[in-house]
Amino acid sequence: KPAYQNLRQKVDNFVSTHLDKQEWNPAMNKNQLRNGLRQSVIQSGMLEAGVDRIISQVVDPKLNHIFRPQIERAIHEFLAAQKKEESVPAPPPEPENKDPPAPSQDAS
């Protein structure tokens, strides 16, 4: 939670500062203003760094004792199913339908 709260506070401050620099008038294109703000936030790099910190705080501690056992179990189940498929013998191929050989006619 501290990493999320820190990121949220940084983004809130960044947005407030950015908007304070804008001179508002009713004719402004709000979508352009919004897109410009979005681009500024992305270019600042704060989101990427903040999300990395959130992952470090939330995901990394759970990686070995929660996620890894589930991943290993899924892999073992998949490999067991693969092995089972390999051990089941395939049915023999069906014989091709060939015409029986024509009886030979001996000139005797």
pTM: 0.51
- The 10s digit of each residue's pLDDT in 83-104 is 887 776 666 666 666 555 666 6
Tell me which of 21 and 90 has the higher pLDDT.
Answer: 21
C-alpha span between 103 and 43 (Å, rounded):
86
Among residues 51, 39, 48, the alpha carbon closest in space to that of 15 is found at 39
Residue 106 has phi, psi (to 5 degrees) of -85, 140
Question: How high is the pLDDT of residue 75?
Answer: 95
Higher pLDDT, 101 or 60: 60
pLDDT at residue 4 in the model: 87
Q: Is 104 helix (H, G, I), strand (E, B) or coil?
A: coil
Residue at 84: amino acid letter: K
Of residues 93 and 41, the one with the higher pLDDT is: 41
Q: What is the pLDDT of residue 79?
A: 93
**Percent of residues, the chain, with pLDDT higher than 70:** 81
